[in-house]
Structure 1
């Protein structure tokens, strides 16, 4: 065969298949070939020897994907790399989907750092993000995509839920940006759907509200027991919901566990008699280790549905009482409150009961600031026991009203 002086794109197209595979040398670049298969498919390839003298063939790509000038450019680079002992082509980064990045973030950030929010973060990821962006290329997600997703979440689940989702998206994107040179998160200021300052709560329940909530809680099973313990111990709802039998000693001391990266807890708390009675009323469920069991071997988790049903029953009870008094039941309204408001209420009641502020703060597990917090390592076990005893006594006087007391819920501030 007479060797051609040049090879054009048209010449590549005119190469005919044979009964066996063959390669056609590019006369303009040594080591650059067109490989022709018996089926008629063609591809550009490069050939060079590595530093050990071994021949290395590198496929550049199908001839219908590249013009010959581009193939020669890629072949020159491949030949140079092979001769240097490197792979023919630089490894191209994997085109990562949102799920790829989210899974890596969960593994290397959330779980590795032991974040307490893992369960809730995973739930929101599955419910709102992976259901929409699971197979979407991560780099293709733009600010408009995030805004559209937040609009959907806000419309269906409220502004606060949208902000929780935004926090997860921002966390994933910032984490990814810290690990890659060429990525810039599309998140911008002003994407929040609520004002953080407006969410700060100062809500506490007054005596009439405490009385009404306590009365309803007495006939509301597990959730009602948790509500009453929240008032009697001033502990966070998650700690009460995950209380274990083994954490309560025979003399009624509850050793509130503290986990890594967690805010302070009350430590060892001598439960008042009223709280011990509530715990004793709970039934053990098989091998489940929790005082308030959930599904399987887990602990109580159903906060939102239980709180919603509790409020419905509370409203119905208050309307019934209004009818019995001859008042208009339509004017009875339960003002908004959340379980955490009970912790704030209990703290306020301790002050009212004459408990020293520093002792009340220790009951709640708050960090004592300054030199005292650094050097005073006393457990204050007896002082905390006295504080909870005083709190329990005050609650007892509140939930036992004088006859004819009218129950009204005030507006939240």
Structure 2
């Protein structure tokens, strides 16, 4: 299986191999938590595989990372178009929460209300939901907290973003990242790609080109940087590990004891970073036909 992926990489199709690897690892992590599949993985080292094990040659994934970032004009247009779309209200709020917190799509989709404290404005993301298997705390800005209040009014179950239906029946499970990614992609098609059953086929098209859910996270980080937030604080807000964050100050935090005892040491700086981001987004997005519509939304997601 992995040999086939390496062969794909060797053939010059490393991005394709890495995409397939990510999907495969997602499937294995799912299986590892469920019987009887987990028993099949007990003596296997598949879950320990890294993307570097698939890459053949000198391809560096970090050099090929996306660079798509929304500027203020695109943020404003993004909010306008999002409000006008026929997407469910919870999907709209999910995207706004992502761009105002910088959290990954999986971390956001899997959010549970029990992990959010409205009184303190803290959202705890458990390690089980994190890409790096590391718990993190988001100190919500007033802007993001209002988004969560609007979401709470239409989502009263266990999950912040519950799946609508499965095989025609209501079930208690979170929405999948793929469903959000597909919703974004299918609303950025050209007339050539248009299908008769498509809805809002170009409603999320922006001047800067196609974008994905991960670009919302990148936009949050870049906007923080533009607002004067230091790189080490941005990396902490994004819950980057030392491997990802090459900043020396962040590398220090990668030490196990540092992660335990320094967790609250940067709380004030992180709160300020998210506050700056939220205040800026509210100023940029608060146009007559956008935020009031979303904030007042109490519609159903059925």
TM-score, normalized by the shorter chain, greater than 0.5: yes
1:230 matched to which residue of 2? 98
Match of 1:292 among 154, 157, 161: 161
TM-score (normalised: structure 1): 0.45
Output the CA distance in 1 between the equivalents of 2:207 and 2:174: 32
Match of 1:213 among 78, 94, 103: 78
Task: Give aligned pairs, total.
Answer: 227
Give the conservation status (yes or no) of the 8 Å contact 2:188–2:204. no
- What is the CA deviation profile of residues 106-125 of structure 1, one whole-angstrom value per residue up to 9, with x for unaligned ones? xxxxxxxxxxxxxxxxxxxx
Output the CA distance in 2 between the equivalents of 1:281 and 1:213: 19
2:285 matched to which residue of 1? 399
Q: 1:261 to 1:211 in 2, by over 3 A?
A: closer
Query: Cα distance, 1:265 vs. partner?
Result: 5.7
TM-score (normalised: structure 2): 0.60
Structure 1: gaps spanning 5 or more residues: 1-101, 106-142, 151-157, 180-186, 319-331, 403-413
Output the CA distance in 1 between the equivalents of 2:252 and 2:56: 38
Q: What SS does structure 1 have at the residue aligned with 2:138?
A: strand
| Corresponding position: 1:344 with 2:218 | yes
Query: Cα distance, 1:335 vs. partner?
Result: 0.6
Match of 2:141 among 253, 259, 272: 272
Query: Cα distance, 1:383 vs. partner?
Result: 2.2
Query: Cα distance, 1:231 vs. partner?
Result: 1.1
Output the CA distance in 1 between the equivalents of 2:253 and 2:17: 41
Q: What SS does structure 2 have at the residue aligned with 1:359?
A: helix
1:253 matched to which residue of 2? 122
2:38 matched to which residue of 1? none
RMSD: 4.3
Output the CA distance in 2 between the equivalents of 1:213 and 1:222: 16
Q: 1:361 to 1:264 in 2, by over 3 A?
A: farther
Query: Cα distance, 1:226 vs. partner?
Result: 1.2
Q: 1:289 to 1:352 in 2, by over 3 A?
A: same
Query: Cα distance, 1:160 vs. partner?
Result: 5.1
- If each structure's strand is expressed as a fraction of its own residues, which one has the higher value? 1
Output the CA distance in 2 between the equivalents of 1:351 and 1:164: 29
Greater C-alpha radius of gyration: 1
Output the CA distance in 2 between the equivalents of 1:317 and 1:166: 28
Output the CA distance in 2 between the equivalents of 1:267 and 1:188: 30
